[in-house]
Amino acid sequence: MTRVLSVTSECVPLIKTGGLADVAGALPAALAPHGVEMRTVLPGYRVVMAAQGHDAPVVMELGDLFGGPARIRRGTLADAVLYILDAPHLFDRDGGPYLGPDGKDWPDNPQRFAALDRAAAIIARDGIEGWHPQILHLHDWQAGLAPVYLRQLGVSGVKSLLTIHNIAFQGLAPAHMLGALQLPAHLFTPQGFEYWGRISALKAGIVFAEKVSTVSPTYAEELMTPEFGMGMEGVLASRGGDFVGILNGIDLDAWTPPFADLEGKARARARLRAEFGLPETAGPLCVVVSRLSEQKGLDLLIEALPALIENGGQLIVLGAGDARIESALREAAERNPANVALRIGYDEALAHRMIEGGDAILVPSRFEPCGLTQMYGLRYGTLPVVSLTGGLADTVINASAAAMGAGVATGLQFHPVNAPALARTLARMVQLYRQPRLWQAMVANAMAQPVGWDASARAYADLFKVMTTA
């Protein structure tokens, strides 16, 4: 049994801002059948402590940790062990895990996540409850300093894997914080964790972890280019074969369609239209469940929307984000009440109903490390319309002439990632929808696609095995 400590800043069902939380929450159970015992360490945010931290037993005292007393409490994550970093001076506050109530980064974020990383390194050095991890699985910049602390504390025999979920966030801090973060000055170099005169927690992880992964094979290739690498492309390319892409999966228990045939799909579509006050039409009902941002390509969708509406399609959007995009979508809904509906915010149950009842799910992201909503769409026979990037490219089989001829298409991809290409693809999607035999075959293909964690968990387990035997 390989022993792995997952070091993460968020984890379902306790705290979530994005796909990282889904991955961190799913991996322990997914890896268990493959001979991996994964335990998780998570910051004791107010919401986490309220859920299970206050009465949880203390299993390690850490003393002063970046300005106040800290300890590790033992909780549970389904059938796995959860360690909660109880440090009230860093985590007991209103707001989100990274942003305060004012929507701005917590000014002490460098210390907050350095504390998580140092706690993980201490667990690696000393063990906890008689359990000694062989590998630290580090998620994003928030866990990036852990390999540096491993070195600093003289920990030998414990390897680390950094998984990059989104390279846009790099954990930057000013150089004068070296002392405050208890970081070794001799590693603050271009070959270490120095990045244009600043400390980069993400770069620290990329440079000093034994292995680096990201969440899809295509995104791994993209990250080694200036277009997608966001300044880290050279560092990642230098890792060579130590940098790999492993596709995420989805929780099949949480995302199981309540219907087994097209009649059930049709009933779900009718209920969804009724919920949003949209009339029955002969065109496809498209859905978007997304953060409303330019990264997610929602500005492109707004520009391309006439191609959907003029061809008889409808659109329902659930999400929140950029005020300009929210405003433009409101205007589109007001101008086209029979074709466009909008719900600002997020509602997990509604997201399920939308993906259940939609004919197509639109994911026009400019970049997408992995993406989960297109996989939810596949699972529910809600055909994904996606840009040709990252995990979207790896999970959707485009309805090209060859794929349609071979009977394997599961959705539509568009490229280049711009509004005209999206508009052409939306028009083609409507044309396919009007050919029931072809559309139904694509729906069947989509629902047959393996989108769970089994293959991905096996890939992680194999990587962990290589790391422990190297």
Task: Determine the 3-state secondary structure of 394 from DSSP.
Answer: helix
Which secondary-structure segment (H or E) carries 299? helix 298-309
322-331 long-range contacts (CB < 8 A, ≥24 apart) are: 322/292, 322/293, 322/294, 322/298, 324/299, 325/292, 325/293, 325/294, 325/298, 325/299, 326/292, 328/299, 328/302, 329/292, 329/298, 329/302
Opening angle at CA 342, ends 337 and 348, nearest 5: 145
d(CA 72, CA 462): 30
**Could you give the C-alpha distances from 46 to 88, 91, 354, 394, 470, in angstroms and in order?**
8, 7, 31, 37, 40
Give binding residues for ADP-alpha-D-glucose as ranges: 16
Question: How many CA atoms lie less than 13 Å away from 83 in the CB half-sphere?
Answer: 29
Could you tell me if 208 and 146 are in contact, meaning their C-beta atoms sit under 8 angstroms apart?
Answer: no
198: tokens are 């600043």
Cβ neighbourhood burial of 169 (10 Å; 0-12, 13-18, 19+): middle
Alpha helices in 411-453 (DSSP H): 419-433, 436-448
Q: How many residues does the chain have?
A: 470
Which of 381, 394, 380, 386 has the alpha carbon at shortest distance from 255?
A: 380
402: tokens are 């060859």
Query: Which sign, positive or negative, has the C-alpha torsion 8, 132, 145, 203?
Result: negative
Could you tell me if 272 and 353 are in contact, meaning their C-beta atoms sit under 8 angstroms apart?
Answer: yes
Q: CA torsion, points 171, 174, 176, 178, in degrees to nearest 10?
A: 20
**Could you give the C-alpha distances from 9 to 14, 142, 190, in angstroms and in order?**
11, 6, 26
Give binding residues as ranges: 16
392: tokens are 């979207």
d(CA 55, CA 112): 22
